[in-house]
Structure 1
């Protein structure tokens, strides 16, 4: 099996199960604005939506907005009375995301906070927000473990934490890798292996974006000190 075959399967699945004008418009707008094509795939966006709906999530925290493609799927999942707070480092990306979300009719349920996530998260925590039901982490990979620690602080028991891009074309199995993203993936997986407050697994994925995977974790209780 090759990536060409994976992409062909993805194309069939998208045309059959994930055809969506608003999300495709968002992807086109992102490309036109010069954003990197590193959004989740269409099938993965739909999966995020279904996972959030399965968890009956009404409060979602997203770390890494980019142009709001995944944000759009999550905003639909929380419904008109829900809220998504999404953190984005680049002001230009945030502007594109805002336009995409408003055009899709879900902008009123999404708050975009611009700045470094590791600066925004302590501010958010100081506000004493209601616990989040789901956290999606898809930002700079080297800080993933730090983002997970914050996610554990800001969620409730039973909440879901998803960390994208952890398999790295199989690189995650290489204990001697010097790739910072691979090392960060191993750090996150090993953190969950010892974190008594959450139970996790990793789902490997293939498709038009290649071979990768994500952590899926459920929060059990208070984080380990």
Structure 2
């Protein structure tokens, strides 16, 4: 039996490796975008944590929206509207993304960032607890895409509410479902990991959807997202 060449093995990678890899690929696949850069700078300047999706993840959401031919998108958790702007850029004329945000300061800054991007006709922020805002929504046609990226303990209720508003063939993406591997550690019972576990059980029990979790590493660390295909609308 031949012995593998030692260069075939690499030591465990680090956060620095992940960030370097993101930056390397991004220089080929992502273009400079003044509106997105402004959104990040304005968000940071106003003391809002820079915990939005990475640039590569934002591009993924943009490409997913385009692939679906999305005209109606729902986002739960706006923060500074970085992901909102990415998805809004994928919408055709007449398309709209609605983003639900509970924090008044976040809603104000995100609205500024959306306006600066010239996307106020395609994106709007609804202020208030998302679970209160859901019943006020009656999209016609139903949403093509839902992106959930808010408080993790409410992932299950957010999924249940969004499930009723998504068309058959639509997609729900839930961010931060790996949490640096903590979700799979049953000794941990923090609200964020418990919220993800409840979501996993709900999705497992829902025969009208199919789903998978994709782990991710990059400049945002080690996490992952759940991709949920709605085969039967409610």
Match of 1:86 among 95, 99, 104: 99
Q: Extract structure 1 runs of 4+ deviating beyond 2 A.
A: 13-16, 127-130
Matches within 5 A, 1:62-73: 62-73=75-86
Match of 1:166 among 156, 159, 177: 177
What is the Cα-based RMSD across aligned positions, in Å? 1.2
Gaps of 5+ in 2: 1-12
For residues 75-97 of structure 1, give each alpha carbon's deviation from its aligned partner in whole angstroms, at most 9, with x where no partner exists: 01112220001100111111111
Matches within 5 A, 1:37-48: 37-48=50-61
Match of 1:189 in 2: 200
Contact 1:200–1:217, Cα closer than 8 Å, also in 2: yes
Contact 1:84–1:111, Cα closer than 8 Å, also in 2: yes
Aligned partner of residue 181 in structure 2, secondary structure: helix
Aligned partner of residue 77 in structure 1, secondary structure: coil
Rg (Cα) greater in structure: 2
Match of 2:70 among 48, 54, 57: 57
Aligned partner of residue 79 in structure 2, secondary structure: coil
Q: Whole-Å Cα distance in 2 between the matches of residues 80 and 99 of structure 1?
A: 21
TM (norm. structure 2) is 0.91
Aligned partner of residue 169 in structure 1, secondary structure: coil
Matches within 5 A, 1:1-225: 1-18=13-30, 19-124=32-137, 127=138, 129-223=140-234
Contact 2:139–2:165, Cα closer than 8 Å, also in 1: no
Q: Whole-Å Cα distance in 1 between the matches of residues 139 and 20 of structure 2?
A: 46
TM (norm. structure 1) is 0.95
Q: Whole-Å Cα distance in 1 between the matches of residues 233 and 83 of structure 2?
A: 28
Contact 2:166–2:233, Cα closer than 8 Å, also in 1: no
Aligned pair count?
A: 221
Contact 1:189–1:215, Cα closer than 8 Å, also in 2: no
Gaps of 5+ in 1: none
